[in-house]
Structure 1
Amino acid sequence: MKNISILLVLVLLFSSCDDLFEPALENNRGLEAMYNEPTYAQGILANGYLLLPYSSAPNSDVATDDAVTNDNANDYLAMATGSWTANSNPMSQWQARRNAIQYLNLFLANVDQVVWSKDEVINTMYYDRLKGEALGLRALQMYHLLLTHGGWTQDGRLLGVPVLTEPENAASDFNLPRNTFQESVDQIMADAEDAIELLPLDYGDIANAQVPQKYQALGVTNAGDYNRVNGNHMRGRITARIVEAVRAQVALLSASPAYSAGTEVTWEDAANHAATVLDRIGGVSGLAENGGTWYVKEEVDNLASGATPAEIIWRGDVGQSITLEADNFPPSLFGLGRVNPTQNLVDAFPMVNGYPISDPASGFDPANPYADRDPRLSKYIVLNESVQGPNNSVIVTGTYGTNNDALNRESGRSTRTGYYLRKLLRKDCNPNPEFNTEQKHYNARIRYTEIFLAYAEAANEAWGPTGTGGNAYSAYDVIKAIRERAGIGIDNDDEYLDMVNGDKDAMRQLIRNERRLELCFENHRFWDLRRWKVANLNETARGLQIEKPGSTLIYTPINVEARDYKDYMYHGPIPYGEVQKWTNLEQNAGW
């Protein structure tokens, strides 16, 4: 993808050189120039990648019950505490997604006229792949547009977004109404199906005997020709496997409580779409052993160019960086301590025996709250007196601490909750200006664990905890495997999971909690709370004050941040300026 960006810049630079030799009427090139210049054409497609909606930072988590920020100027803090409006919306995807879709529509309208290769068969392979990429990217971009802006109107209709499949120009009618939510889903699914048909499952060099049958039928017998189009050097672009995962995300959203009354997508549909993705890795047996810590040194440093770990369906580029650590390490490690996990989230981690800490059988001790807890707790969150950083420095968040790591010690840098972020960060980074040590990072766009949890959620709703609907595994099987990987219930065969095994409602709560833990700080929680339409969206963010008057630690829960979401905010707004401009563009209820 870096190469695509460079090519796009070079094309634009060279296209501006005419004026060096003689005056030009305009310094813009027409789209027809792409027909004989594949690089120029791919530059248009590249915008579908450059405008991808993924973030490597846990931005939206600070607007949920999982975290707060110590940055008083943070837009998500303002949003969560009562300042979310249709013209002040940090969640908005309207402009970026529509921009991406416009570029993709331009490409799709012209892709069949581009000469990709003088060889007819190779030209066909290029055409298939590049058209498939554009369709897959359009499905993905439209999904995120729908996720953010789809919602119910004042008169009780579930609307999606305007479905645009042709490029807009000066003569276009821009005053378009929104399509229904179902029509939007239908278009996404249609694009996804077409993309899956055109794209390879994965990119990679193959042998002669592995050339796909459809290209063998056209006369391709030399794998070198196929590899030229779909070989290792293409890894990182969208594939059929990735589009299948996006399709599963769309189905899960559509079947969820906040949308289901206005769609035709069922929980069974959502489970089966997720199963399509999971069956390709052998179902539950394919759950990656180290999937919960895909961001650590051992998983990143030796990653081959374009390759993905077993946990990752799609990732961003690997790059040297220290941004996450500089933003989120405690002050004593030259960090800003920006994302502070809440006590709400800490309490969601069960005991190592699998029981919630609220269950008398858990053995939880409020006077020793971190003992015998789910191992993921200490992997994802910096607890009081745990270590962090390149020198394993002890971090004291209690009020008895002697530096700015302590609770509320310094505005804008110290923790507000008694916790700091550990997940996503590499301890071998060093933000100290004397060293400024960067390490490799990448953004996990879609993880297999996310799709496993989507299957568990949908399968439980469709067929109950142990039903399979004809698939090879149940919601119970998935959750057991995920908890075993985390180190939960190893000594007692996860008694708690077996207790809820016959109760769909209890299993639902457990699945949602596992999703919360496994995907924390990856920008899923906000969207999950909305699609479930649960009260947690307005739950007060809590922390823990830890004092040490003598030799004993005293733990006191504290309220940190009251949230101010209204009921209508389970669905986001159409931007205020767009509704003002276009009379046919109807706003969601409440905004």
Structure 2
Amino acid sequence: MKFKYIISSILLVLSLFSCDYLDIVPTETANDKDAFKDSEAARRYLYSCYSYLPNPRHQTASIDMFTADEVVTAFEHETFANFPKGNYTASNPVISYWNTLFQGIRQCYLLLENIDAVPLMDEKDKQEYKAEATFLIAYYHYILVKNYGPTILIKESFAVNTPAENFPARSPYDECVQWVADKFDEAIALGLPNEQEETSFGRATKPAALAIKARMFLYAASPQFNGGSVYYSDPDADDISGALAQVKNADGTALMNTTYDASKWQKAADAAKTAIDAAEDNGIRLFQEGDVPATLAEPSNSVEKTLRMAITDRHTPEIIWADTRPENYYSLQRKSTPWNATNGGSWNGVAPTLTMIKSFYTKNGLPIDEDPSYDFESAFEYSNQTDLTHGSGNTLNLNMGREPRFYAWIAYHNSYYELYAYTNDPGVTADNRNRMLVSFRKDDNCGVKTRTNNYAPSGYLNKKGVHPSFSRATGGSIINYPWPIIRLGELYLDYAEALIEVGGASNLETAKEYIDRIRTRAGIPTIDEAWAATGATLDQAKMRQIVRQERTIELYLENQRFWDVRRWLLGTKYFNMKAQGMDYSQSTDAGFFNVVDVNFTRVFRTPQHYLMPIPIGDIEKNQFLVQNPGY
């Protein structure tokens, strides 16, 4: 199967799995009729509408990939690093979707206005194109709402010469959310298919529309957008309600409701359950052990192998909607894999933080500081590994006795990294070249040595998103696979979180059921089984803690935590402090196994950084446009 590349008029590229190649999409010229002269031209134009989709795993231009507190990288000189550093303003938003997505929205409306006039085009295709364009209008608005809060609602295509006195203002946040939800419903009513053919994988579907709508309702119910302060006891949470109350249009229209509305959680729960049912009815399910290719040798543990492949398998049944653009040379896999001094192609620089390391559960499915059988007091001492399943030699005690997701997704000092290795790599045997032993002290195989780049700043290395067949021996041979924009595992956690916030004994029990689906696949005990050993009461507050930790683990490095921390109003707690890790500058165990700050700036300003800045140029052009707080 080849990749189909779709090129828009502004040279953005979107690829869809296919068996042929497309020519360049016609630009919008004085004669737009050329774009709809026949069915083939219309198809190209539809694909150009998709070309405005932000690339969630672009190595430098993704706003939410390496920008939370999950990882720290050796690539602080790249564009994305401005976000954890707090170096973005209205004058220099660094990565901004404001202008780009409004262009995409206009392009979708032009398709809706012209598609019926395409000669000799199948009516069924016309209807589906209308549904997909409507879906994209909704999705692009959803991204704007997620980034900027209250946005301008584009309900029709505006002429490029619209006079300034007719420019639109921002609409109130709750109105935006409902309008986008209705637009997703409109796309479904227009005939979004339940699934796309394999050659069109990545195009819109009904389950995708329902899933994104459900996520949007979850965000709308969360503290950031539901009052601007927490409605439960949490001394670490920020209160931005006062700042949000000042966000008003020039005519005095309040754009943010600062009164908590508990009913939004029920709305989010209902939407998530509807989306789950639609996904499961169409064969979408969690990736399981039987889905793993039989030829895959490592990881040797079947649960860890399943977890490693859950998103990297090209045919995973778990994805509801995916970005199908192929990964490029400097993206996730090469940035995460062990340093290759021989043949290049591996940059050794995506390093999980100590915050993330501590977030993973013990093998008993409990937080490391709550498991009575886990020796938390000596977690930051080091000793020789006696269980040689995951590595050999001295390592931090914190790295032992952990859950399968930890070993599937994290490489620690003296652990195995599953990939196709050189014959002389540490840990490689004559009968197994599918894993290598990685070490992170200064002079080790993944150590910094004398380099100023391409090292693991925390003394750990990421494995999530790296296919186990990645080949060191051929200079970093990437195995391409679709990247999940949303998958079923997330929907289960969305549903559980909403039910927990609704409260009530039956809702808490149902929430456990859906979290346990994730935990069972992860090879850890159910919530009731695990917490029985602690004597804890699994009330609403405790379940809130559990579902948030489960999201942090399960959705690690999947573009989620950047937004989750914001919507929980915990930006100051998590994003306003330096990352921590091992002392990678040391050559001995005694020096390396010490917790140190990673010397990269981390800044989160409240309330400023809870929303993205609208570019100052747009504020100056549109007299009706107001800026977000702090900019």
TM range, smaller chain: 0.7 to 0.9
Distance 2:575 2:284 in 1: 34
The change in CA–CA distance for 1:73 and 1:47 in structure 2 (over 3 A counts) is: same
Distance 1:483 1:575 in 2: 42
2:284 and 2:317 in contact (8 A); partners too: no
- 1:55 corresponds in structure 2 to 56
1:196 and 1:240 in contact (8 A); partners too: yes
Question: Which of these residues, 241, 257, 262, is aligned with residue 207 of structure 2?
Answer: 241
1:326 and 1:431 in contact (8 A); partners too: no
Equivalent residue of 1:505, what SS?
A: helix
What displacement does 1:129 show? 1.0
What displacement does 1:70 show? 1.1
1:408 and 1:416 in contact (8 A); partners too: no
Q: Does residue 565 of structure 2 align to residue 529 of structure 1?
A: yes
Equivalent residue of 2:593, what SS?
A: strand
Q: Does residue 395 of structure 2 align to residue 384 of structure 1?
A: no
Question: Which of these residues, 75, 95, 98, is aligned with residue 94 of structure 1?
Answer: 98
What displacement does 1:34 show? 4.7
CA distances 1:528-556 after superposition (whole Å, capped 9, x unpaired) = 11111112232331112379998889732
- 2:218 corresponds in structure 1 to 252
Letter of the 1:429 counterpart = F
2:337 and 2:461 in contact (8 A); partners too: yes
The change in CA–CA distance for 1:538 and 1:279 in structure 2 (over 3 A counts) is: same
2:37 and 2:118 in contact (8 A); partners too: yes
Question: Which of these residues, 433, 437, 442, is aligned with residue 482 of structure 2?
Answer: 442
What displacement does 1:497 show? 9.2
Distance 2:527 2:564 in 1: 31
What displacement does 1:128 show? 2.1
1:349 and 1:356 in contact (8 A); partners too: yes
- 1:156 corresponds in structure 2 to none
Which segment drifts farther, 335-344 or 72-81? 72-81
2:512 and 2:527 in contact (8 A); partners too: no
The change in CA–CA distance for 1:465 and 1:362 in structure 2 (over 3 A counts) is: farther
Letter of the 2:55 counterpart = Y
The change in CA–CA distance for 1:466 and 1:116 in structure 2 (over 3 A counts) is: farther
- 1:513 corresponds in structure 2 to 549
What displacement does 1:183 show? 2.1
What displacement does 1:260 show? 1.1
Distance 2:71 2:618 in 1: 32
Gaps of 5+ in 2: 8-19, 228-255, 292-303, 382-396, 422-434
- 1:23 corresponds in structure 2 to none
- 2:432 corresponds in structure 1 to none
Equivalent residue of 2:485, what SS?
A: strand
The change in CA–CA distance for 1:452 and 1:462 in structure 2 (over 3 A counts) is: same
TM-score, normalised relative to structure 2 = 0.76
CA distances 1:144-181 after superposition (whole Å, capped 9, x unpaired) = 1111111xxxxxxxxx1111122222332453211111
CA distances 1:178-231 after superposition (whole Å, capped 9, x unpaired) = 111122112211111111112244236xxxxxxxxxxxxxxxxxxxxxxxxxx6
What displacement does 1:74 show? 2.2
Map 1:67-82 → 2, pairs under 5 A:
67-82=71-86
- 1:136 corresponds in structure 2 to 135
CA distances 1:236-265 after superposition (whole Å, capped 9, x unpaired) = 310111111111111111111000124677
1:7 and 1:39 in contact (8 A); partners too: no
- 1:210 corresponds in structure 2 to none
Distance 2:88 2:72 in 1: 16
Letter of the 2:542 counterpart = A
Q: Does residue 264 of structure 2 align to residue 266 of structure 1?
A: yes
Q: Does residue 626 of structure 2 align to residue 586 of structure 1?
A: yes
Distance 2:556 2:25 in 1: 41
1:38 and 1:114 in contact (8 A); partners too: yes
Distance 1:248 1:36 in 2: 37
Letter of the 1:134 counterpart = A
Distance 1:497 1:112 in 2: 64
Higher-helix-fraction structure? 1
Map 1:333-482 → 2, pairs under 5 A:
334=344, 335-359=346-370, 361-364=372-375, 365-366=378-379, 367=381, 368-388=397-417, 389-391=419-421, 392-399=435-442, 401-403=443-445, 405-406=446-447, 410-430=451-471, 435-464=475-504, 466-467=506-507, 474-482=510-518
Which segment drifts farther, 351-360 or 241-250? 351-360
What displacement does 1:285 show? 11
Distance 1:280 1:498 in 2: 37
Distance 2:33 2:580 in 1: 58
Identical amino acids, percent of aligned pairs: 25
The change in CA–CA distance for 1:385 and 1:32 in structure 2 (over 3 A counts) is: same
1:322 and 1:431 in contact (8 A); partners too: no
2:268 and 2:495 in contact (8 A); partners too: yes
Distance 1:427 1:43 in 2: 35
What displacement does 1:518 show? 0.9
What displacement does 1:288 show? 3.5
CA RMSD of aligned residues (A): 3.3
Equivalent residue of 1:566, what SS?
A: coil
Letter of the 1:494 counterpart = A
1:129 and 1:200 in contact (8 A); partners too: yes
- 1:563 corresponds in structure 2 to 602
2:170 and 2:625 in contact (8 A); partners too: yes
Q: Does residue 335 of structure 2 align to residue 327 of structure 1?
A: yes
Letter of the 2:347 counterpart = L
Distance 2:325 2:36 in 1: 33
Question: Which of these residues, 273, 296, 317, is aligned with residue 310 of structure 1?
Answer: 317
What displacement does 1:425 show? 0.9
Distance 1:428 1:57 in 2: 21
Equivalent residue of 2:372, what SS?
A: helix
What displacement does 1:445 show? 1.8
Map 1:122-161 → 2, pairs under 5 A:
122-123=122-123, 125-150=124-149, 160-161=150-151
Gaps of 5+ in 1: 16-26, 151-159, 205-230
2:580 and 2:597 in contact (8 A); partners too: yes
What displacement does 1:355 show? 2.0
1:407 and 1:545 in contact (8 A); partners too: no
1:341 and 1:420 in contact (8 A); partners too: yes
The change in CA–CA distance for 1:38 and 1:7 in structure 2 (over 3 A counts) is: farther
1:34 and 1:114 in contact (8 A); partners too: no
Distance 2:113 2:139 in 1: 18
What displacement does 1:570 show? 1.1
Distance 2:625 2:162 in 1: 15
The change in CA–CA distance for 1:490 and 1:240 in structure 2 (over 3 A counts) is: closer
What displacement does 1:357 show? 1.1
Equivalent residue of 1:428, what SS?
A: coil
Distance 2:67 2:198 in 1: 40
Question: When the two structures are aligned, how many residues end up with a matched partner?
Answer: 526
What displacement does 1:449 show? 0.8
Distance 1:519 1:84 in 2: 26
Distance 2:311 2:213 in 1: 27
Which segment drifts farther, 434-443 or 235-244? 434-443
The change in CA–CA distance for 1:408 and 1:340 in structure 2 (over 3 A counts) is: farther
Which segment drifts farther, 180-189 or 513-522? 180-189
Map 1:537-556 → 2, pairs under 5 A:
537-545=575-583, 555-556=593-594
The change in CA–CA distance for 1:378 and 1:40 in structure 2 (over 3 A counts) is: same
Letter of the 2:135 counterpart = G
What displacement does 1:500 show? 5.3
